[in-house]
Structure 1
Amino acid sequence: MTAIPEQPYSPSGPRVGGTRGLLSGGPAFRAPAFRGSPTPVPVPRARIAGPLRDALALTALPLVAALALPAAFAGGGTRRWFGGRAENQRAEAQAAKDAAAAAFYELDTAQRDLRISIETITAVDGSPAARRAVADFEALGRRIDEASHTYIEAVDAHDLDRDDLDASTASRARTKLTAAKGELDRVKRELDRFTEGLGPLLGKAENQLARLAPAVERARQALLAASNALDAARAAGLRADDLAARLAALSPELTRLNQGAGQHGVPQTLERAERVIRQAEAIRAEADRLPEQAAETGRRLVSLRTRAQALTTRSEQVEPVLSELRRRFSAACWQDLQGVPDVAAENVRQAEARLAEAGAARDEQRWADATALLSTVRALLNTTDEAVSAAGDRLRRLNAVQKDPEQEIERTRFAIRDAQRLAMAGRHTPDPRHAHPLDGAVARLERAVAGLEGRHPDYWHFLTETEAVRRSVAEVVTLIREDRGGSAG
């Protein structure tokens, strides 16, 4: 919008003169020229005798005074009076001009404020909604320029300070100025509605701007805390080279934060600050844990070495267990355990090698490598422990079922009967989806019991079959409860 220099208007003082008084800062007032006074005819001095000249001088004095009197009243910027109607029209036109000027200034101020809001949004938000708001603001600016041009033309069209301003001209000026004010008011209302619609976008942008400085400061403080924690770890004799390298990698990020959002953008700066905070806090936390981590690594090394030694002793007892299994039970009961001694020995050997590597990594303060190696050792020892335990557990279970197979049979039959009672609860006939699996479990148990007859029964097959029957029965029980739970729901 074209800026208009402010010039105060006082009803009691002189108005701005000229057609561009309001816009171009014309003279404070313009006194009207005096018209109607006769022009004196010069008289040659040489042709007038002394006495006559004196008489004429005495006669002309009152005439000059009389001619000068109207000029005295016309001085000081007063207008010649042309009648009440013309002056009323002039006053109304001037009032319309003042009202239009006030509307113009109000619209200009609102547009300036809105431009600041738009600049705030564009500095933060690059979303499609923000881009649409910018385009709408530009279109509204063109409407404002058109209304402002209409107003300026109306002001320039008529000089309300002219002495010969007639009533019809003043009336036309008032009409144009009133119309210009109406257009300014309409555009102002559009501007107000547009401003109200910007509320969510502007609020989001202001929130991000409000978060910017605290976020950058938190990032700086996080980096400082990480540096201090790293210094403390080094003072305790821990090199922490990997942490130092990670902290050094954040230095360019700090440089970009210091360069500011004006160069890198508000959203990007906020994202960078949050990323720096997360990484710096992770470095600080790891640096704080380094002394405890070093001590914990030492304890785990000792514990896993002790466990490996114990498993070496236990694995040596697997061969006697296998010998007894071979002597007392059929091949099906122990064939899958034949490789346990070799597997256990190999696992223990690998575990001891990894323990040596973990010790070297600890001495070199490669904590991540040490932790990974110790995890591998633990997995190897767990596998070995399970294999060694499986041989002894197999012998124990086979001894129990050989001595009293009825205990295993009754345990399985009880599970089947309990499931059958649940299937018949509240029913005259069971659901086929429940009855068929239970009938199959009964038949499977009978076949397993029949397999115990003979000179060399396969007790291990019997145990695995009874376990399988109990699992299938448990699945039927779960199905029954789910069906009844759904029906109740």
Structure 2
Amino acid sequence: MTASGGGTRRWGWGGGRAENKRADAQAAKDAAAASFYELDTAQRDLRISIETITAVDDSPQGRRAAADFAEFGTRIDQVSHRYIAAVDAHDLDRDDLDAGTAARARTELEQARGELERTKADLERFRQGLGSLLDRAETQLAQLAPAVERARQGLLAATTALEAVRASGLQADDLAARLAALSPELTRLNEGAGRHGVAETLHRADRVVREAETIRREADRLPERAAETDKRLASLRTRAQALHNRAGKVEPVLSELRRRFALACWEDLQGVPEEAARAVRQAEEKLGEAQRAREEQRWPDATSLLATVRALLNTTDEAVKAAGDRLQRLNEVSFDHTREVEKARFAIRDAQRLAMAGRSTPDPRHAQPLDRSVERVDRAVAGLTGRQPDYWRFVTELDAVRDAVQEVVDQIRREMAGG
């Protein structure tokens, strides 16, 4: 058949039916192409989510999500291959396309589209199941940039504080060394989470912030620390000198104790003058070492040495004071020992009244130690015999009696408080 206007095309029997089938096949092809594009888009979008998760989450759930996505990748490759094979198998623009071939093309393309859509639906369900993992990962990623910036700002603040301290004449070498040790950490932060991982980068940033802040605080406090060290050095020098003078007065105290009281009253104090002199010398030597440490700005060493000096002086001060207190107390007791006795007996009577409160008979747990305390007082008084009684034993025994009585009182009060 000849068409007007030039050109010819053969129209076989049933040509209209073949054209309808061609149109149906083309529609199936277009629909399959749209499904292929949608699946490809969904896969690329989900790949970004999976990469976000794996960058942050190394948990079993995170690794499982990555493995499942890889399996989906294999499945998508397979259905995509079948779709492409169906498209390549049929040239729908061929002039001699018959109705049967067009129908088969439509069937194969519709089958390919069905597989593509089912795969996309399964992929969507998988994506929805990643919600909590993805939320956590995105939260950590959102924290990343601010955390790294805080670390940079912290290092800058520490550097500024250190420069100000050094400008004032303080060396701060230890702080400078600690700050320099953080430089490699800043380098790693700048390399990014892509190389070191998000979790490790966040942890590193937090550590840099903490350490830089510590350095900054110590640098800011360094002038004050220097002033405190100078003040403590001066104070301990004055105290050491005063103690040296006081230690020189122990020997006259011991002489009076020897002259007026029994050996047992002062024998334990015999070594105090020598021990005090030795301790003061040691304290003065340590003060010299502390002064050198301060001049060299070795602050921890200076602090430690000053603590040693203080301990030496405290111990020596107690020993020197003990000698004077001993003489004073023995003088008082030798003049009138009844006051000490009455103090002990008053404590016992007070405890006995408490033990009988609300009772017709005392609890043996309370009565027995109180009765023993009465006996101890009587024996202590009876022991004051001879030309030089052992007043120190007398005093220490009555002190021990009062302590024992106080233990009974405390026990009774605990029991009363407990119901």
Q: TM-score range by the shorter chain?
A: 0.7 to 0.9
1:460 aligns with 2:392: yes
1:56 — aligned with what? none
CA distance in 1, matches of 2:5, 2:368: 132
Percent identity, please: 65
Runs of 5+ in structure 1 lacking a partner? 1-36, 38-66
1:347 to 279, 294, 307: 279
> What letter corresponds to residue 313 of structure 2 in structure 1?
L
CA distance in 2, matches of 1:232, 1:471: 58
Runs of 5+ in structure 2 lacking a partner? none
CA distance in 1, matches of 2:284, 2:194: 59
1:240 — aligned with what? 172
1:364 aligns with 2:299: no
For the structure 1 residues 169 and 218, does the alpha-carbon distance in structure 2 shift closer, same or farther, using more than 3 Å as the test?
A: closer
1:113 aligns with 2:48: no
| 1:452 match: secondary structure | coil
CA distance in 2, matches of 1:153, 1:164: 20
| 1:126 match: secondary structure | coil
For the structure 1 residues 320 and 129, does the alpha-carbon distance in structure 2 shift closer, same or farther, using more than 3 Å as the test?
A: farther
TM-score by length of 2: 0.81
8 Å CA contact 2:165–2:172 kept in 1: the answer is yes
Shift of 1:388: 0.5
1:261 aligns with 2:193: yes
2:202 — aligned with what? 270
CA distance in 2, matches of 1:155, 1:271: 52
Bigger CA drift: 389-398 or 471-480? 471-480
TM-score by length of 1: 0.71
For the structure 1 residues 100 and 392, does the alpha-carbon distance in structure 2 shift closer, same or farther, using more than 3 Å as the test?
A: farther
Q: Name the Cα RMSD after superposition.
A: 3.8
Shift of 1:343: 0.7
2:181 to 242, 245, 249: 249
For the structure 1 residues 482 and 113, does the alpha-carbon distance in structure 2 shift closer, same or farther, using more than 3 Å as the test?
A: farther
1:194 — aligned with what? 129
CA distance in 2, matches of 1:185, 1:223: 49
1:296 to 228, 249, 259: 228
2:16 to 77, 81, 86: 81
Q: Deviations over 1:414-469 (max 9, x none)?
A: 43444444444445555554444444444444443443355543322233233333
1:406 — aligned with what? 338
For the structure 1 residues 173 and 276, does the alpha-carbon distance in structure 2 shift closer, same or farther, using more than 3 Å as the test?
A: closer
2:115 — aligned with what? 180
CA distance in 2, matches of 1:415, 1:101: 105
8 Å CA contact 1:257–1:269 kept in 2: the answer is yes
1:392 — aligned with what? 324
8 Å CA contact 2:92–2:102 kept in 1: the answer is no
| 2:17 match: secondary structure | coil
Shift of 1:335: 1.3
2:99 — aligned with what? 164
1:280 — aligned with what? 212
1:230 aligns with 2:162: yes
CA distance in 2, matches of 1:485, 1:74: 117
CA distance in 2, matches of 1:450, 1:346: 41
Shift of 1:350: 1.2
CA distance in 1, matches of 2:407, 2:27: 95
1:214 — aligned with what? 146
8 Å CA contact 1:154–1:176 kept in 2: the answer is no
8 Å CA contact 1:121–1:130 kept in 2: the answer is yes
Shift of 1:384: 1.1
1:373 to 305, 310, 321: 305
> What letter corresponds to residue 448 of structure 1 in structure 2?
A
CA distance in 2, matches of 1:142, 1:305: 83
> What letter corresponds to residue 129 of structure 2 in structure 1?
F
8 Å CA contact 2:165–2:219 kept in 1: the answer is yes
| 1:82 match: secondary structure | helix
CA distance in 2, matches of 1:195, 1:157: 38
8 Å CA contact 2:83–2:109 kept in 1: the answer is no
For the structure 1 residues 342 and 445, does the alpha-carbon distance in structure 2 shift closer, same or farther, using more than 3 Å as the test?
A: same
For the structure 1 residues 375 and 154, does the alpha-carbon distance in structure 2 shift closer, same or farther, using more than 3 Å as the test?
A: same
For the structure 1 residues 204 and 410, does the alpha-carbon distance in structure 2 shift closer, same or farther, using more than 3 Å as the test?
A: farther
For the structure 1 residues 171 and 366, does the alpha-carbon distance in structure 2 shift closer, same or farther, using more than 3 Å as the test?
A: closer
2:257 — aligned with what? 325
CA distance in 1, matches of 2:71, 2:341: 89
For the structure 1 residues 81 and 383, does the alpha-carbon distance in structure 2 shift closer, same or farther, using more than 3 Å as the test?
A: same
CA distance in 2, matches of 1:148, 1:202: 27
1:134 — aligned with what? 66
| Higher RCO structure (Cα 8 Å, ≥6 apart) | 2
Shift of 1:331: 1.8
> What letter corresponds to residue 343 of structure 1 in structure 2?
E
For the structure 1 residues 89 and 190, does the alpha-carbon distance in structure 2 shift closer, same or farther, using more than 3 Å as the test?
A: farther
CA distance in 1, matches of 2:35, 2:354: 88
CA distance in 2, matches of 1:347, 1:74: 125
Q: Deviations over 1:272-295 (max 9, x none)?
A: 333333333333333333333333
CA distance in 2, matches of 1:80, 1:460: 137
CA distance in 1, matches of 2:147, 2:166: 29
CA distance in 2, matches of 1:424, 1:148: 99
> What letter corresponds to residue 195 of structure 1 in structure 2?
L
CA distance in 2, matches of 1:131, 1:417: 79
For the structure 1 residues 110 and 301, does the alpha-carbon distance in structure 2 shift closer, same or farther, using more than 3 Å as the test?
A: same
How many aligned residue pairs are there?
Answer: 413
CA distance in 1, matches of 2:399, 2:65: 71
Equivalence map 1:25-174=2 (5 Å) = 37=1, 67-68=2-3, 80-82=15-17, 104-145=36-77, 163-165=98-100
